[in-house]
Every structure is written in structure tokens, then in C-alpha cells.
A and B are shown apart, each in its own frame.
Chain A
Amino acid sequence: RKEVEQDPGPFNVPEGATVAFNCTYSNSASQSFFWYRQDCRKEPKLLMSVYSSGNEDGRFTAQLNRASQYISLLIRDSKLSDSATYLCVVNRHTNKLIFGTGTLLAVQP
């Protein structure tokens, strides 16, 4: 079983739609959680950290459920520019990040 699991998608949604991705992790000792975004043939970039109380950054909302060991990302009012692969990332300890294989989002005009 992979340490971080994501639905690979693709999620095909129209512009303006709300879309949500979930991710599960297996190591209950994981300490911090992130969503990274990776555009086609580009490097991953941090989208947002995920805090226990949930956090929001504009159209993006991240939630963490430690009891069930899952993380979610909600995107409201999808834009064409949101099309990318979203990587769920968990840290095992200070210097080691574990990456999910990513969820592909395609926003259609």
C-alpha cells in the first residue's frame, strides 16, 4: 500500500465549477501536510499547507482529518488556469516529504 494515496483522475470540470480532491495517508505519525501543484512538464510548486483547523486561500480550501487520516482540497469557481496535477504531500519527519502520485484536473471552457 502506498504511504500517500490519491485518485489519479482526470477530473474534467467546466469553468466555474467546484471540485474537491481527497488524499489518504497511512502513517499516523505524519506531522505536516501540503498540496503542491505541478503544471505539465514543469516542476512542483507549493500551493498551500494544510492545518488541522482547515485553511483557506482565495478560492482554495484545505482540510485535514487526522482521525481518518485524510486531507482534502476544494477549489471553487474553477478557472482554466487551474488545470494541473495536484500533489498531496505528507512529511515523515523534518527533511522527508512523501508525495502522492497526483490528481489531474482539467478545467474545460
Chain B
Amino acid sequence: DVKVTQSSRYLVKRTGEKVFLECVQDMDHENMFWYRQDPGLGLRLIYFSYDVKMKEKGDIPEGYSVSREKKERFSLILESASTNQTSMYLCASKGALEGAKNIQYFGAGTRLSVL
């Protein structure tokens, strides 16, 4: 079974703090993704990575950065947290061999509140 682990289920931070969300997968997947999920807006892609040290912007990258130093780990960074970044953050991974199946496996999510 694929396991995608997010370091925290719940986080509370203050405006202006630097926030790190960590994600680890154990299936040697090449591709990893960060989404946020908000009511009425669904899942929106923030950033993804198709290899170590490689990254691409998703649909809403503003205010976020990412780091992929090791294949199994993909970090999402909020340089200066703002209240509009309060959301559920979901990490996902996908193997390169999935091809057209395009199955993404998700972590349990981190619910971030920025006060």
C-alpha cells in the first residue's frame, strides 16, 4: 500500500510566521504535489515536483514555495503566513509509470489556521 504521510494534522500559526508543511511518501514516486482545499473551490494545485530539485508552479503558487531535496520528501513553505492561507493542505504522490492512469495518492491533510 502506498503511504503518504503529512507531518501534522492540525497547525495554528500567527500572521507573518514562516510555516513548513512536510510530506513523505514511501513508494519511490517521482511526482509529488501540494494542493489546498477550500469550501466551494475544491482542490487547487499549488506546486508540483517531477523529480528531486525540480518544481513547477500550479494554479495558485503565490505566497508559497516548495523544496524537494530528497525523492521521498516534498515540503511546502509559507514564507510569511497570512489569514487567507487558512485552509486544508493536501499532499499527493504519483509514480512515473502510472502513465495515463494518473492515480494520485493523498496524505491525510494538514488543517492550517493562521490567526
* Chain A interface (Cβ < 8 Å from any Cβ of B): 4, 8, 31-32, 34, 42-46, 49, 87, 91, 94-97, 99-102
Q: Which of B50, B102, B106 contacts A44, CB < 8 Å?
A: B106
Return chain B residues, CB-CB under 8 Å to A95: 31, 33, 48, 50, 56, 94
Return chain A residues, CB-CB under 8 Å to B31. 95
Give the CA-CA distance A2 to B33 in the complex, in Å: 21
Bitwise interface map of B from 31 to 63 toward A, beta carbon under 8 Å scored 1, else 0: 101010000111111001010000010100000
Q: For A43, list chain B residues within 8 Å (CB).
A: 90, 106-109
Q: Which of A49, A96, A100 is close to B58, meaning CB atoms less than 8 Å apart?
A: A96
Given known contacts A95-B31, A95-B48, A46 and B103 CB-to-CB distance under 8 angstroms: yes
A32/B90 in contact, CB under 8 A: no
Contacts of A46 in B (CB 8 A): 103-104
Taken residue by residue from 86 to 106, chain B's Cβ proximity to chain A (1 for < 8 Å, 0 otherwise) reads as 000010001000001111101
Chain B interface (Cβ < 8 Å from any Cβ of A): 31, 33, 35, 40-45, 48, 50, 56, 58, 90, 94, 100-104, 106-109
Contact B41 A101 (CB under 8 A): yes
How far, in whole Å, are A101 and B39 apart by their CA atoms in the complex? 8
Cβ–Cβ < 8 Å partners of A91 in chain B: 102
A-B contact pairs, 8 of them (CB 8 A): A43-B106, A43-B107, A46-B103, A95-B50, A95-B56, A97-B45, A99-B43, A100-B42
- A32-B102 in contact (CB<8A): yes
With A34-B102, A43-B106, A43-B107 given, is the CB distance from A101 to B90 under 8 Å? no
Q: How far is the CA of A96 from the CA of B60 in the complex (A)?
A: 13
What are the nearest 4 A-B pairs in CB distance?
A43-B106, A101-B42, A99-B43, A99-B42
Note all chain A residues with C-beta closer than 8 A to B43.
44, 87, 99
Chain B, Cβ-Cβ closest to A2: B42
A98 CB → nearest B CB, Å: 8
